[in-house]
């Protein structure tokens, strides 16, 4: 269970949602999460296959999948066909983001391609640990073993290694959570971003 602590610095605003220090539900098992569209290029099939292997060693942990999309039938069949109903949960679309990040300890982003993800930013500013594929966009945000854990999106053993790192290196996990929040506050606060845009535009005038 993550000890979600940091000083009382105000957290950034994304869209209309202002995130605060979210208190995680108390539990013994770890709740991993996926929060985005259920699309093939988001690489969810890769994730659930690796998670099934992870469960061999940690059979009480869980994966909560938030989102909608065309991959849902495949995922439902995979869950039922492998008797994973007690470990992998399809949660659909959840409008209230605070509920998501209260429920999950770790966000996993296995995407094959993307820009900087809003879900990853949300996770970092709510003290939710982030494990993300090393694709463009993610590598701009996730510095391996500093603000998150990174893995090769085509290498199942690499993702499995990062899951085990989260389970077994609690000191590193706490350091990364603190670093990630500081990264968000320093570089992605709405006022900071607006000021950077203003300076960029002003330099072109």
E strand or H helix that includes residue 203? helix 190-203
CATH code: domain of residue 112 = 3.40.50.2000
Domain count, the chain: 1
pLDDT in tens, 139-163: 989 999 999 999 999 999 999 999 9
The strand pairing partners of 34, in sequence order, are: 65
The answer to whether residue 22 sits within a structural domain is no
pLDDT in tens, 82-101: 999 999 999 999 999 989 99
The answer to whether residue 167 sits within a structural domain is yes
Q: Is it the case that residue 48 has pLDDT exceeding 90?
A: yes
What band does 196 get if pLDDT is binned at 50, 70 and 90?
very low
At 188 the pLDDT is: 76
Residue range(s) defining the domain that contains residue 174: 28-203
pTM: 0.85
Within a 13 Å sphere around the CA of 24, how many CA atoms are in the beta-carbon half? Answer: 20
């Amino acid at each position: 269970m993550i000890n979600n602590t940091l000083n009382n610095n105000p957290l950034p605003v994304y869209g209309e949602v202002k995130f605060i220090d979210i208190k995680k539900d108390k539990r013994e098992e770890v709740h991993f999460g996926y929060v985005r569209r259920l699309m093939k290029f988001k690489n969810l099939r890769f994730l659930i296959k690796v998670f099934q292997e992870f469960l061999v060693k940690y059979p009480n942990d869980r994966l909560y999948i938030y989102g909608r999309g065309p991959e849902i039938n495949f995922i439902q069949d995979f869950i039922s066909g492998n008797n994973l109903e007690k470990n992998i949960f399809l949660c659909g679309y959840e409008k209230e983001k605070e509920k998501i990040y209260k429920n999950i300890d770790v966000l996993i982003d296995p995407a094959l391609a993307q820009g900087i993800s809003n879900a990853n930013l949300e996770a970092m500013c709510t003290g939710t640990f982030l494990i993300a594929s090393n694709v463009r966009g993610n590598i701009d945000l996730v510095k391996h073993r500093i603000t998150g854990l990174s893995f090769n999106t085509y290498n199942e053993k690499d993702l499995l290694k990062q899951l085990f790192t989260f389970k077994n290196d609690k000191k590193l996990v706490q350091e990364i959570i603190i670093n990630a929040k500081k990264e968000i506050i320093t570089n992605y606060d709405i006022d900071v971003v607006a000021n950077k845009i203003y300076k960029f535009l002003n330099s072109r005038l």
